[in-house]
């Protein structure tokens, strides 16, 4: 029976990780996985494969993080020995600060017009015939007035 396409890719990804000295079973499902050049001053001048892996205790077992809720994760890097499959794409979760910065930009975009009381962004099209009262649907979601 032919293997499914995602299964083929999963196996290829595991083989690639193994070829780079990484045990695929130590990699969480949503782990960051990306390639970066060595920093200036690093005696190694090649590229690093950066990734997240389960932190293992002295017995080689996974353990929980400091909150006791999730598996403990650590960031690691290893010299890139084998290039990834051509279909592979790097994966890097946004940081909390990046997400907060995006929220700040959204809030700056959707602000209440001091004269009309409407959302400036949502009402800008066809103004003054089209107005969206403050708080607009976007801000209502951000402040939890509406559930998405
Ligand atoms: Zn708006």
Query: Cα of 146 to ligand 1 centre, how many Å?
Result: 14
Does residue 2 have a pLDDT over 70?
A: no
Query: Cα of 41 to ligand 1 centre, how many Å?
Result: 47
Query: Cα of 98 to ligand 1 centre, how many Å?
Result: 21
Confidence of residue 127 (pLDDT cuts 50, 70, 90): low
Token code pair at residue 52: 């997240």
Query: Cα of 109 to ligand 1 centre, how many Å?
Result: 7
What does residue 25 show for φ and ψ, rounded to 5 degrees?
A: -75, -10
Please, what sign has the CA dihedral across residues 53, 59, 62, 64?
negative
pLDDT reported for residue 130: 80
Predicted confidence (pLDDT) per residue in 23-40, tens digit:
999 999 899 999 999 999
Query: Cα of 68 to ligand 1 centre, how many Å?
Result: 39
- Provide the CB-side half-sphere exposure for 130 (13 A, CA): 9
In the chain, where does DSSP find H-type helix? 5-19, 96-109, 120-123, 137-142
Q: What is the mean pLDDT of residues 43-50?
A: 96
Radius of gyration of the chain (CA): 23
DSSP 8-state code for residue 144: T
Q: Are 80 and 47 in contact (CB under 8 A)?
A: yes
Q: Are 22 and 53 in contact (CB under 8 A)?
A: yes
pLDDT reported for residue 32: 97
Query: Cα of 94 to ligand 1 centre, how many Å?
Result: 24
């Amino acid at each position: 029976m032919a293997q499914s396409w995602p299964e083929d890719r999963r196996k290829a990804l595991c083989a690639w990780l193994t070829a780079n000295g990484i045990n695929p079973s130590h990699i969480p499902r949503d782990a960051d996985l990306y390639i970066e050049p060595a920093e200036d001053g690093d005696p190694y001048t090649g590229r690093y494969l950066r990734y997240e892996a389960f932190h293992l205790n002295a017995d080689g077992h996974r353990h929980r993080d400091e909150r006791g809720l999730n598996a403990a994760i650590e960031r690691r890097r290893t010299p890139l020995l084998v290039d990834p499959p051509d279909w592979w794409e790097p994966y890097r979760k946004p940081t909390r600060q990046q997400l907060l910065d995006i929220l700040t930009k959204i809030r700056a975009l959707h602000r209440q017009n001091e004269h009309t009381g409407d959302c400036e962004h949502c009402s800008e099209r066809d103004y003054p015939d089209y107005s969206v009262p403050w708080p607009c649907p976007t801000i209502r979601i951000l402040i939890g007035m509406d559930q998405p």
